[in-house]
Structure 1
Amino acid sequence: MKDAREHPASVYRPPDRDGVGASSVALPAGTWTLLIDFLMHHFPAIARDEWLQRMQRGDVLDADGNALTVTSPYRANSKIYYYRNLPTEPRIPFDEVVLYQDAYLVAVDKPHFLPVTPAGRYLQETLLVRLKRKLGIDTLTPMHRIDRDTAGLVLFTIQPSTRNLYQTLFRERTVSKVYEAIAPWRPSLILPTTHRSRLIESEAFMQMQEVEGEPNAETMIELLEVKGELAHYRLHPVSGQKHQLRVHMSSLGIPIVNDRIYPHLYPDEGEHQDYSRPLQLLAKSIRFTDPLSGKLHQFESRQHLQF
């Protein structure tokens, strides 16, 4: 059996540019004559002029890293890479803190409002890209994700050859995660309690919903402190469904303070983000046994909620 740390056969991977990795797309069988014709069909929201500019900059590459041009033929059953390009992004005015780094892992304390990975209108202003630039490590990959609105701990792997070992810890639920939240105080709610439900995507953009059926989400909720109409809670998610903690707190009648998705979905604030009202949810601690060294890791966020 091969050692888990043995490097696989070399596969071409375009270098990052200013911390941003190249995206890829497989070219299916089709009748397109030129590559740009396929790109126009596959990405209808991107104008032809934008693709021309990317090709002129050398931002569209074949599977061997050769630059493709407007006259490049379409080659079915191959693969191309391309670099995304966004207008200058306004800086999200909060900084991440690296809490731990070794040859395989990086543990980071993420601020509210900062996305973990590039998506939509966020590219440079994401935790992953910031860290690649700061640490000079192009192979960084998140072990797990937390919402853009949530603050706290995020773990990254460094070595591609050991990435799956660490990500498997989350898939197999052998990582102990603790969150904290500020939400309304309900004297009639008996705590601690464990809330289980089945979560699926709803028809409303971004929202998850609880439905009848076998539970796929479980959260244990404890009370830490009561102050007036609000309370400080500790949350222990057993599973890791999208928006699980936000949905479960809302379902119990105690939606997390400043939640703009549950129970009511509010419009995206876009460039007019109100940074004075962060979601009061914090990924406070993570604990697990390192699959390589056997060392017990325990990381703690240095942040505190507004209570």
Structure 2
Amino acid sequence: MTLIEPVPPMKNGVSASRVFLPAQTNYLTIYDFLCQQFPHISAQEWLLRFHHQLIFDQNLNQLTEDTLYQANCFVFYYRFLAYEMPVPFPHHVVFENEYIMVVDKPHFLTISPTGKYVQETLLVRLKHETQNPHLTPIHRIDKDTAGLVMFCKQPAYRAAYQQLFADRAVQKHYHAIAAYAPHLEFPHTIKLHLCKGEPFYTMRIDAEEKPNSETVIECLSHHAQRAKYLLKPITGKQHQLRVHLNHLKIPIENDPLYPIVKHVADDCFDRPLQLLAKQLEFKDPVTGQFLQFESQQDLHL
């Protein structure tokens, strides 16, 4: 008979993380271990997690900051932030069946917990609403980008949906507002080699390397100064669309990273990046159906 390890329940849509305690004698308490294992998290924050009853042993017994270190065991902990800036925009479920959920994400909302956001993320919002701890994003769009994101509801089918994106079997259409480029002939295809830039959260172009990113660009409408573009990414590199349009001297409106990094206050919501994940199309690997979804949001000249 296979024993099933106990797993802590979600708390406000947040699933517990698990860390293994290795065999060694350097730590007196589990608190000491956690502080050294995760130096990016302050000691005060670990104390708050203990005090808020957010740390458990593998048998789901609550731990305190004085609990002695015990090697070759697991510890469960929940992410916790004393304060998060509320993102005052709703998300909308576009489609849902027993396998997937397609959600229309607003601007400014991060998909998964990271950095300064836990509760104010799309994944935690959805887990809290559905009480489904297995919900997983199949692909990602930037915090600054609005539009469609697909989630898998059951672990057994996660790999099949992830493979769709790995095989480039999903057709993705984006809309963007940027300066009108009369010098370009449309449709215009751009291919570049993208790699990590400086600061680390940006991307840069390496002209010496073979292209690893490709986008097809069409112009949907325009006036003298501005245009609405249809972007069809063939690949899915980080910030691909933003870097490609910036390279063409038509950076996307309100982009805080390209061409120049601009630090925007967390509570500034009046200049959203004019980039929208407008459409998803694919053949469902589980049901065999051809599915097409469109964001209810729009960008306007």
Residue 142 of structure 1 pairs with residue 133 of structure 2: no
Deviation, 1:62, is 2.4
8 Å contact kept, 1:280–1:306 = no
- In structure 2, the partner of 1:298 is 292
- In structure 1, the partner of 2:106 is 111
CA deviations over 1:221-257 (Å, ceiling 9, x no partner)? 1111111211111001111110000000101111001
Residue 244 of structure 1 pairs with residue 237 of structure 2: no
Provide the TM-score with structure 1 as the length reference.
Answer: 0.91
Deviation, 1:160, is 1.2
CA deviations over 1:142-195 (Å, ceiling 9, x no partner)? 011100110100010101111111111111211111111111112112221111
Deviation, 1:25, is 2.6
SS for the counterpart of 1:84 is: coil
8 Å contact kept, 2:55–2:63 = yes
Deviation, 1:46, is 3.6
Q: What is the CA–CA distance in structure 1 between the aligned matches of 2:275 and 2:211, rounded to whole Å?
A: 23
8 Å contact kept, 1:35–1:73 = yes
8 Å contact kept, 2:228–2:300 = no
Letter in 2 for 1:182: I
Unmatched runs of 5 consecutive residues or more in structure 2: none
SS for the counterpart of 1:18 is: coil
Gap change, CA 1:132 and 1:154, over 3 Å in 2: same
SS for the counterpart of 1:277 is: coil
- In structure 1, the partner of 2:217 is 221
8 Å contact kept, 1:237–1:245 = yes
SS for the counterpart of 1:255 is: coil
CA deviations over 1:188-228 (Å, ceiling 9, x no partner)? 12221111111111121321001021221111111111112
SS for the counterpart of 1:38 is: helix
Gap change, CA 1:47 and 1:220, over 3 Å in 2: closer
Residue 286 of structure 1 pairs with residue 261 of structure 2: no
Gap change, CA 1:62 and 1:185, over 3 Å in 2: same
Aligned mate of 2:250, from 247, 254, 266:
254
Gap change, CA 1:70 and 1:213, over 3 Å in 2: same
Letter in 1 for 2:278: K
- In structure 2, the partner of 1:177 is 172
- In structure 2, the partner of 1:126 is 121
Q: What is the CA–CA distance in structure 2 between the aligned matches of 1:227 and 1:28, rounded to whole Å?
A: 63
Q: What is the CA–CA distance in structure 2 between the aligned matches of 1:219 and 1:49, rounded to whole Å?
A: 46
Deviation, 1:17, is 0.3
Unmatched runs of 5 consecutive residues or more in structure 1: 1-7
SS for the counterpart of 2:193 is: strand
Letter in 2 for 1:279: L
Gap change, CA 1:231 and 1:75, over 3 Å in 2: same
Once the two structures are aligned, what percentage of the paired residues are identical?
Answer: 46
Deviation, 1:14, is 2.2
Gap change, CA 1:14 and 1:215, over 3 Å in 2: farther
- In structure 2, the partner of 1:52 is 47
SS for the counterpart of 2:288 is: coil
Residue 269 of structure 1 pairs with residue 250 of structure 2: no
CA deviations over 1:253-283 (Å, ceiling 9, x no partner)? 110011010111111422x32x221111000
